[in-house]
Amino acid sequence: MKQVEVKAYDDLDWTEKQQRNPATATVALGVDGRWVELDLTQDHATELLRFVDRYMTAGTKPAKPPVLRSASSPLAGARRFGKERLAWVNANGWPEVTTRYIPMKARQAYDAHLLALTQGGGDQ
């Protein structure tokens, strides 16, 4: 069986310093319907989650969830991909994974799974 290695680098280090430091975590972050996924070092992931937690703690849960964009929006595919990845990761050895934090090893395993499917290698 062909081995596939997927490497991810810290998005913040690359954007700010053009440095390729290996990422150890993927964090999903959403504000006002705009979602991004960040590959980060553990230090950057911790820094981000501590910063956001301040606001999450200060806020109150809305009476009803905010309206998401329509299923035909560009973000709909990203949301579907995220849900599919989370379901696969939870079913394949990482039951503690949440949408807030996906360990890099879990993300790499899912990426390898997708690559194997696209190359006709079947399910891993």
Phi, psi of 116 (to 5 degrees): -65, -40
Q: Helix count (H) and strand count (E) of the chain? A: 4, 3
Q: How far apart are CA 54 and CA 11, in angstroms?
A: 22
The model's confidence at residue 72, banded by pLDDT at 50, 70 and 90, is very low
For the cut 80, the answer to whether the pLDDT of residue 78 exceeds it is no
Instruction: Render 37-74 in DSSP notation, one character per residue.
Output: EEEE-HHHHHHHHHHHHHHHHHS---SSPPPPPPTTSH
pLDDT at 51 over 60: yes
Lowest mean pLDDT among 13-17, 56-60, 76-80: 76-80
Q: What is the dihedral of CA 29, 34, 38, 43, to 10 degrees?
A: -40
pLDDT at 77 over 70: no
Q: What is the mean pLDDT of the chain?
A: 75
- Percent of the chain scored above 90 by pLDDT? 3
For the segment 2-12, the average pLDDT, to the nearest whole number, is 79
Tell me the three state secondary structure of residue 106: helix
* pLDDT surpasses 80 at 58: yes
Domain boundaries, the chain: 11-118
Per-residue pLDDT, 44: 92
